[in-house]
Chain A
Amino acid sequence: MKRLLVSLGSLLTVGLLLLALVIGLNLRGEEPIRQTEPPAVLDAALVERGRYLALAGNCASCHTERGGAPFAGGHGIPTPFGTVFAGNLTPDEATGLGRWSADHFWRAMRNGRSRDGRLLYPAFPYAHYTLLTREDSDALYAWLRSLPPVEQDNKPHELRFPVNTQAALAVWRALFFSPERFEPDPSRDAAWNRGAYLVRGLGHCAACHAERNVLGAPTGRFEFGGGLMPVQNWYAPSLSQADEASVADWPVEDIVALLRDGVSPRGSVLGPMAEVVFRSTQHLSEPDLAAMAAYLRSLPQQPAQEPAPAESTAAASPARAMGQRLYEQHCVQCHGEQGEGVPGAWPALAGNRTVTMASPANLVRILRHGGYLPATAGNPRPHGMPPFGHVFNDEEMAAVATYLRSAWGHQAAPVSALEVFRYR
């Protein structure tokens, strides 16, 4: 009996210690809330700076629903654990941020906690926004307060148990989140540091360009090592690998063109990156884009993947002949017999990294769903890829992809109908 009591007692003690640890880890790095009320007047210069920063952070992509009032929330973000709905950021008293102070907002951006103390889901990328300076947080806050208030209740998240509990979120945060500060690298110039701040912080590029573990936390040795975006099934390619989306050997002006116009002499953007260019990077200043380019060019590089052995490349696949026939029937008109494309209209497929990279996810998605490049000031009337989902069945699509991955000197692995199905 006494032994049982001792065991129970030590279990209880360990439990309480763990609880204290989780709570402590969740509250670390927090500053006390001193201001509890919103300011009476807004500084116009601060508002304007906040407007620009909200573009750099692409806040509208989640917080403005399609066809909805700006920043009134309601957009659902699909995750493997369910759907998280973005909140109303307008200064409405009852349903938005109307009662938030700048301190509350800073705590949300930097520590991921709401005004009422609730822990926020990391679909709100505070793991990246935590690098923001207090000045930038205050500017964003001022700009959001300047918006017309919209009365629109936040939609409750649709998450499964236990992910839908604050306790589970607290454990997740204790394991995977810690507030940080951006520390400039004194060995680099100001532009590089500005680029690092934008790419790693507000731009939250690693929210997509990094692999996640089974609990949805970013993982991997390289911060931008590439990863399959869950549910959406687009592959955000590695920014550290020459055979994926590294820009280490691109001239700065080509990187700037890609982020500003959505198209550059070396490639163009589709899918989620088209969204980023359309809503965010096309609106950024040239110095900021050049700064981001300088930082992206300097990322540590991983070696390219070993080429597959000849007998397992797409060239050896029996589906290749069917793929070539379909290519000549449906694709050659725009992309050309040598996959050369037409500059400014249709992209070259020969030497195209989207065609040859290890993950065929984007190739399959583009074949199936097509897509337009984003319409930007630099490319206001873009060309579009037709969707072929109703033309090709999975086997035919796999054959076309397989042909592309072996044509014109490509040596990538073939694509199976099963993979085509998986990435639909």
Chain B
Amino acid sequence: MPGPLPFQWALVAWCFLCGTLAHAQPSIDRPDPASMAARVQACVACHGAEGRATREGYFPRIAGKPALYQYHQLLHFRDGRRRYGAMSELLQHLTDDYLREIAGHFAALDLPHPPTPSITLTPAQRERGEQLVRVGDAARGIPACASCHGQALVGIAPALPGLLGLPRDYLNAQLGAWRVGTRRAFEPDCMARIAKALDEEDISAVSGWLANQPMPASTLPEPALTQALPMDCGGVPAAEARR
């Protein structure tokens, strides 16, 4: 009887190797401990696996949001311009450099969106919401949301966030917080001025309309501003350069 052919030995060796490897692998799905994914496990507990929030609940999706916008929010939470106990507590002993890296990690993720939930709005709410988003209300000094956040409302890199795919409760809470001063951005804080010009019914209509929108084919932020912003906004490089 002839001895085992070379390929048979190879097969034996391969099986042995893969058996060893399978044994060495943890029986659970664990990210590489040195990776950024492993370092931000504390974030995804609320913001969903890989920063992709589910549509139930409050926590906003952070995957794919513009990097500078996310970095600024992390600074705001750490330094008390935004108030949310869990965020402030987690970030209080982290450096600017590391927060910038965390922001970049989530900004670089391009993950599919879950289906948009259906929110019941009255025809009047739909109309008012769409009007404020697309046109604004010049008489009251309210620019259209789309004039800064992009015509497709997916945001503009690097500092203007998209407005789609966010829970309505989250949108309501942000506009409310800006009105009462518990959410602040760098001066001049344009969103604070806009939120203070909105009344409660405006906010409800805008948040409902935005949360109802289907996601466009590409949800990545537009690459750069192509036109001047209607207001001065702190933390937006192009707008700051213009001043």
Q: In chain A, residues 249-286, which have Cβ atoms closer than 8 Å to a Cβ of chain B?
A: 274-275, 277-278
Binds A, one of B37-45, B62-70, B234-242: B37-45
Given A345-B33, A372-B90, A372-B91, does the pair A386, B44 have CB atoms closer than 8 Å?
Answer: yes
Kindly state the separation between the CA atoms of A189 and B33 in the bound complex, as whole angstroms: 43
In the complex, the answer to whether A391 meets B30 with C-beta atoms within 8 Å is: no
Contact with A along B16-55 (1 / 0, CB 8 A): 0000000000111110011000111111111000000000
Contact with A along B80-101 (1 / 0, CB 8 A): 1100001011111111011001
Number of A-B contacts defined by CB within 8 Å? 93
In the complex, the answer to whether A386 meets B42 with C-beta atoms within 8 Å is: yes
B81 is contacted by which of A67, A374, A384, A385 (Cβ under 8 Å)?
Answer: A67
In the complex, the answer to whether B98 meets A370 with C-beta atoms within 8 Å is: no
In the complex, the answer to whether B98 meets A345 with C-beta atoms within 8 Å is: no
In the complex, the answer to whether A381 meets B38 with C-beta atoms within 8 Å is: no
- Chain B residue nearest to A330 in the complex (CB): B45
Residues of A within 8 A of B91 (CB): 372
Asked if B79 is an interface residue, CB under 8 A from chain A, the answer is yes
Secondary structure at the B interface, as helix, strand, loop or mixed, is helix
B98 is contacted by which of A277, A381, A391 (Cβ under 8 Å)?
Answer: A381
Residues of B within 8 A of A348 (CB): none
Kindly state the separation between the CA atoms of A66 and B28 in the bound complex, as whole angstroms: 40
Given A66-B79, A344-B33, does the pair A375, B38 have CB atoms closer than 8 Å?
Answer: no
In the complex, the answer to whether A369 meets B39 with C-beta atoms within 8 Å is: no
Kindly state the separation between the CA atoms of A388 and B44 in the bound complex, as whole angstroms: 11
- Chain B residue nearest to A328 in the complex (CB): B28
- Chain B residue nearest to A342 in the complex (CB): B33
Residues of B within 8 A of A374 (CB): 93-94
Given A342-B33, A369-B89, A372-B94, does the pair A381, B39 have CB atoms closer than 8 Å?
Answer: yes
In the complex, the answer to whether A345 meets B34 with C-beta atoms within 8 Å is: yes
In the complex, the answer to whether A390 meets B28 with C-beta atoms within 8 Å is: no
Residues of B within 8 A of A386 (CB): 41-46
Cβ distance A383 to chain B, nearest Cβ, rounded Å: 5
- Chain A residue nearest to B79 in the complex (CB): A67
In the complex, the answer to whether B45 meets A65 with C-beta atoms within 8 Å is: no
Kindly state the separation between the CA atoms of A66 and B184 in the bound complex, as whole angstroms: 14
A384 is contacted by which of B27, B28, B41, B101 (Cβ under 8 Å)?
Answer: B41
Contact with B along A373-403 (1 / 0, CB 8 A): 1110000111111111111000000000000
A278 is contacted by which of B45, B80, B93 (Cβ under 8 Å)?
Answer: B93
Kindly state the separation between the CA atoms of A130 and B120 in the bound complex, as whole angstroms: 66
Asked if A171 is an interface residue, CB under 8 A from chain B, the answer is no
In the complex, the answer to whether B33 meets A370 with C-beta atoms within 8 Å is: no
Cβ distance A332 to chain B, nearest Cβ, rounded Å: 6
Given A332-B28, A342-B33, does the pair A370, B93 have CB atoms closer than 8 Å?
Answer: no
Cβ distance A415 to chain B, nearest Cβ, rounded Å: 21
Given A369-B89, A383-B39, does the pair A333, B45 have CB atoms closer than 8 Å?
Answer: no
Asked if A346 is an interface residue, CB under 8 A from chain B, the answer is yes
In the complex, the answer to whether A67 meets B39 with C-beta atoms within 8 Å is: no
In the complex, the answer to whether B90 meets A370 with C-beta atoms within 8 Å is: yes
Kindly state the separation between the CA atoms of A68 and B80 in the bound complex, as whole angstroms: 9
Residues of B within 8 A of A65 (CB): 80
- Chain B residue nearest to A343 in the complex (CB): B33
Contact with B along A336-376 (1 / 0, CB 8 A): 11000010111000000000000000000000011111110
Q: In chain A, residues 60-115, which have Cβ atoms closer than 8 Å to a Cβ of chain B?
A: 65-68
B45 is contacted by which of A66, A346, A372, A388 (Cβ under 8 Å)?
Answer: A388
- Chain A residue nearest to B86 in the complex (CB): A387
Kindly state the separation between the CA atoms of A391 and B92 in the bound complex, as whole angstroms: 22
Kindly state the separation between the CA atoms of A67 and B81 in the bound complex, as whole angstroms: 8
Residues of A within 8 A of B81 (CB): 67
Q: A333-B29, A336-B26, A381-B101 are in contact. List 14 more A-B contacts (CB 8 A).
A: A67-B80, A333-B30, A371-B89, A372-B42, A372-B93, A372-B94, A375-B93, A380-B98, A384-B40, A384-B43, A387-B42, A387-B86, A388-B45, A391-B45
Write the residues of chain B forming the contact surface with A, with a CB cutoff of 8 angstroms: 26-30, 33-34, 38-46, 78-81, 86, 88-95, 97-98, 101
| A-B residue pairs in contact (CB < 8 Å), sample of 7 | A66-B78, A67-B79, A333-B29, A371-B89, A384-B42, A385-B41, A389-B86
Write the residues of chain A forming the contact surface with B, with a CB cutoff of 8 angstroms: 65-68, 274-275, 277-278, 332-334, 336-337, 342, 344-346, 369-375, 380-391
- Identify the 8 closest CB pairs spanning chains A and B, nearest first: A386-B45, A384-B42, A67-B79, A345-B33, A66-B80, A374-B93, A278-B93, A67-B80
